[in-house]
């Protein structure tokens, strides 16, 4: 059987918040680096998203964009395998956002959990804006414009992917039922040749009559294989298969990224707002200093006091960086006061410095060659625009906006 993965497209965005830290690296970037080897990936700087909350400090966004891109590149995100671009360089996102807004019920946006949560969390900002309410829909446009079927997100963003699916479904329902849809779909089936047409009909029946979801997957793969089906026919058949209209916007699914286990220096989640980070471009001496002075088991006051790794932030770092042998050594040494806390931290210091070394070397190269960084983004933005334009052309067409 053909694998669907060959053609799977992944899309993800990150808000420009300045230099990235080890939490971003372990939580997001390592995952992107892996995904870019398997899928057709689009990664973008979500500068408009940042404006929805930071519209009063827009200069921070502009300053952060290049730092963030350099950190992506330094972490191993490869412009040869993924398209890297800036959201606002692809204004097609905005047009799709506008067009989708016409069919999106207000209640769907008001019910997105992050809407109220964020308003409460960011009290100091006035988030009773049109842009903030619409930001999950902007995210839907980001996803749908590339026909991305996989969206790597954290738990907090799953509801946005869910909204995207609903918006796509509604859009397809309203605009996918062109006159003569069934006849066109039947004609498209015939174009696949006798054998495949028969197989397609069987799969359609298995899904529609027995609700077999596997049959849909196999049928999708079959459609992807058909060289002589035009894109529009394929979209018709995708919809016809499930008993609906033509699929103009494809429903994505969330690729849940496991919550990062990367603790900050104080044992809480690593985050700039907790001031407990090690940034990817942190000077090695500062890294050492930060780790040497980070808190340990508070009950272990003297070197001779035994400690308890369970309540120690350093232990959490061992969970990320150390093998079983080192971890056994910590458990034994800590609970018997056999080792001191500085001894205990040494393997972490080495591991973090080792991890950061190649990242920092690459970052330095890119820092010194801002022309190259700009070229990467320009090329990525152009490539993204090509795809985005095609989707938008079709969207305009089915909405009757082709003059």
Which residues of the chain form contacts with ligand SF4 (CB under 6 A)? 296-297, 300, 307, 309, 312, 314-315, 330, 334, 339, 341, 344-345
DSSP reduced 3-state for 158: helix
- Taking the complex as a whole, the smallest distance from the CB of residue 310 to ligand SF4 amounts, in Å, to 9
Taking CB under 6 A as the binding criterion, the range among 7-15, 21-29, 256-264, 267-275 that sits at the site for ligand TRP is: 7-15
> Tokens representing 101?
């807004």
Contact 266, 274 (CB under 8 A): yes
Residues β-bridged to residue 37: none
Q: Which does 11 bind (CB under 5 to 8 A by kind): ligand SF4, ligand TRP, none?
A: ligand TRP
Q: What are phi and psi of 325, to 5 degrees?
A: -65, -45
- Decide: is 134 part of the binding site for ligand TRP (CB under 6 A): no
Residues 172-201 that bind ligand TRP (CB under 6 A): none
Give yes or no for residue 143 binding ligand TRP (CB under 6 A).
yes
Q: Measure CA 266 to chain center.
A: 27
Question: Which neighbouring-strand residues pair with 153?
Answer: 256
Which does residue 348 touch among ligand SF4, ligand TRP, none (CB within 5 to 8 A, set by kind)? none
Is-contact 256 155, C-beta < 8 A? yes
Q: Which residues contact 338 (CB under 8 A, 6 or more apart)?
A: 332
In the complex, the smallest distance separating the C-beta of residue 268 from ligand SF4, rounded to whole angstroms, is: 16
Binding positions for ligand TRP, 46-85, rule CB under 6 A? 46, 49
- CA 109 – CA 104 distance, rounded (Å): 8
Nearest to 208 by CA among 240, 168, 175: 240
What does the DSSP 8-state code read for residue 179? T
Q: Residue 69 or residue 334: which is nearer to ligand SF4 going by CB?
A: 334
Among 139, 260, 360, 381, binds ligand TRP (CB under 6 A): 139
Counting Cα atoms < 13 Å in the Cβ hemisphere of 247 gives 19
CB of 253 to ligand SF4, least distance (A): 40
Q: How far is the CB of 344 from ligand SF4 (least distance, A)?
A: 3
Task: State yes or no: residue 13 binds ligand TRP (CB under 6 A).
Answer: yes
Cα atoms found within 13 Å of the Cα of residue 208, Cβ hemisphere only: 14
Partner from ligand SF4, ligand TRP, none contacting 309, C-beta within 5 to 8 A by type = ligand SF4
Residue facing ligand TRP at closest CB distance: 13
Shortest spacing between CB 280 and ligand TRP, in angstroms: 18
Which CB sits closer to ligand SF4, 182 or 328? 328
Name the E strands within 113-225.
150-153
Q: Which residue has the tokens 């830290």?
A: 21
Q: Which residues of 380-401 are buried (b: 16+ CB within 10 A; e: fewer)?
A: bbebbbebbeebbebbeebeee
Q: What is the smallest separation between the CB atom of 114 and ligand TRP, expressed in angstroms?
A: 8
Instruction: State in angstroms the smallest separation of the CB of 265 from ligand SF4.
Output: 12
At its nearest, how many Å lie between ligand SF4 and the CB of residue 21?
A: 21
Among 157, 172, 276, 381, binds ligand TRP (CB under 6 A): 157
Among ligand SF4, ligand TRP, none, the one that 296 touches (CB under a kind-dependent 5 to 8 A) is: ligand SF4
Cα separation of 190 and 198, whole Å?
9
The residue ranges that bind ligand TRP (CB under 6 A) are 11-13, 15, 46, 49, 139, 142-143, 151, 153, 157
């Amino acid at each position: 059987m053909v694998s669907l993965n060959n053609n799977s497209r992944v899309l993800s965005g990150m808000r420009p918040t300045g230099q990235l830290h080890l939490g971003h690296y372990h939580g997001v970037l390592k995952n992107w680096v892996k995904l870019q080897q398997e899928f057709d990936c689009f990664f973008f700087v979500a500068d408009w998203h940042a404006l929805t909350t930071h519209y009063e400090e827009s200069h921070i966004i502009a300053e952060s964009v290049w730092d963030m891109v350099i950190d992506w590149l330094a972490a191993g995100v490869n412009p040869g395998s993924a398209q890297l671009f800036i959201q606002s360089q692809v204004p097609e996102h905005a047009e799709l956002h506008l067009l989708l807004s016409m069919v999106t019920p207000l209640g769907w946006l008001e019910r997105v959990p992050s809407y109220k949560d964020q308003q409460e969390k960011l009290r100091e900002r006035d988030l009773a804006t049109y842009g903030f309410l619409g930001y999950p829909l902007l995210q839907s446009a980001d996803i749908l414009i590339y026909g991305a079927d996989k969206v790597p997100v954290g738990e907090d963003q799953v509801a946005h992917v869910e909204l995207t699916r609903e918006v796509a479904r509604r859009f397809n329902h309203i605009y996918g039922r062109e006159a003569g849809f069934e006849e066109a779909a039947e004609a498209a089936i015939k174009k696949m040749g006798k054998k495949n047409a028969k197989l397609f009909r069987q799969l359609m029946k298995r899904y529609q009559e027995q609700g077999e979801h596997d049959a849909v997957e196999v049928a999708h793969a079959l459609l992807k294989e058909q060289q002589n089906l035009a894109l529009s026919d394929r979209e018709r058949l995708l919809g016809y298969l499930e008993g609906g209209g033509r699929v103009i916007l494809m429903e994505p699914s969330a690729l849940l990224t496991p919550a990062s286990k990367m603790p900050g220096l104080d044992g809480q989640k690593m985050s700039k707002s907790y001031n407990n980070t090690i940034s990817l471009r942190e000077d090695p001496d500062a890294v050492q200093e930060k780790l040497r002075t980070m808190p340990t088991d508070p009950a272990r006051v003297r070197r001779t006091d035994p400690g308890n790794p369970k309540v120690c932030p350093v232990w959490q770092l061992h969970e990320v960086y150390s093998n079983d042998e080192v971890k056994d050594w910590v458990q034994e040494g800590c609970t018997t006061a056999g080792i001191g806390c500085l001894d205990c931290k040494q393997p972490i210091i080495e591991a973090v410095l080792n991890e950061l070394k190649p990242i920092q070397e690459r970052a330095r190269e890119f820092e010194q060659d801002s022309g190259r960084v700009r070229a990467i983004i320009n090329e990525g933005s152009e490539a993204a625009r090509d795809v985005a334009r095609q989707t938008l052309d079709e969207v305009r067409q089915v909405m009757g906006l082709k003059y």
